[in-house]
């Protein structure tokens, strides 16, 4: 755990969130500032600062997270309509929290290209 990291604190249950899924490796919780009717974040419990610092040894973890995204999306009822998975990396993408997280957004139509 990184002491000054808000998502490490969420993983440790030191900050309250609405948890939608949890196992030994990852946790999913509702985004505080929803951008769609369904908007949750999936994070590894292990601190990884951003996509820029993932390594091959994280491959299994990242792969499992995507399998969980699929399952949670199905439970949230957005599989058929569709959903968007977003990982903002660094300044140009607007990353605000430097603990790797995947936004999962659904329940409305999204435009492309993104803003
Ligand atoms: P990003 O810009 O990709 O770093 O997104 C960070 C996301 O974390 C934003 O959508 C915030 O609304 C969300 N967020 C920040 N703090 C919390 C929190 N305590 N609980 C839930 N979501 C949070
Ligand atoms: Zn962290």
Nearest residue to 18 (alpha-carbon basis) of 7, 32, 6, 4: 32
Active site residues: 101
Q: Which residues line ligand 1 (CB under 6 A)?
A: 6, 15, 17, 29, 31-33, 41, 88, 94-97
Q: Answer yes or no: is 111 within a domain.
A: no
pLDDT tens for 8-50 read 999 999 999 999 999 999 999 999 999 999 999 999 999 999 9
pTM reported for the whole predicted model: 0.97
Residue 40 lies in a domain: yes
Residue 47 lies in a domain: yes
Measured CA to CA in angstroms, residue 77 lies from 13, 37, 40, 114 at distances of 26, 11, 13, 23
Q: What is the CATH number of the domain that holds 51?
A: 3.30.428.10
> Ligand 1 centre and the CA of 72: distance in Å?
18
Distance, CA of 56 to CA of 51 (rounded, Å): 12
Q: Return left, alpha or beta for 82; rule: phi > 0 is left, psi -120 to 50 is alpha, else beta.
A: left
The 10s digit of each residue's pLDDT in 42-69 is 999 999 999 999 999 999 999 999 999 9
Token pair listed for 37: 């009717």
Task: Tell me the C-alpha to C-alpha distance, in Å, between residue 21 and each of 11, 25, 71.
Answer: 11, 11, 10
Residue 86 contacts residue 102 (beta carbons within 8 Å): yes
Q: Specify if 56 maps to a domain.
A: yes
When divided into structural domains, the chain yields a total of 1
Please tell me the residue having the least CA distance from ligand 1 atom 17.
Answer: 32
Residues 74-85 have a mean pLDDT of 98
Which residues lie closer than 8 Å to 100 by C-beta, 6 or more apart? Answer: 43, 44, 48, 49, 50, 51, 54, 87
Q: Is 114 domain-assigned?
A: no
Q: What is the domain extent for residue 19?
A: 6-106
Is there a domain that residue 113 lies in? no
Does 28 fall in a domain?
yes
């Amino acid at each position: 755990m990184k002491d000054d990291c808000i998502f490490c604190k969420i993983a440790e249950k030191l900050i309250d969130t609405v948890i939608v899924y949890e196992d030994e490796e990852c946790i999913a919780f509702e985004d505080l500032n929803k951008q769609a009717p369904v908007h949750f974040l999936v994070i590894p419990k292990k601190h990884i600062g951003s996509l820029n610092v993932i390594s091959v040894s994280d491959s299994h973890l990242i792969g499992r997270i995507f399998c969980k995204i699929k399952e949670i999306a199905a439970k949230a009822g957005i599989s058929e309509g569709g959903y968007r998975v977003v990982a903002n990396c660094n300044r140009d993408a607007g990353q605000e929290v430097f603990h790797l997280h995947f936004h999962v957004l659904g329940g409305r139509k999204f435009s492309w290209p993104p803003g």
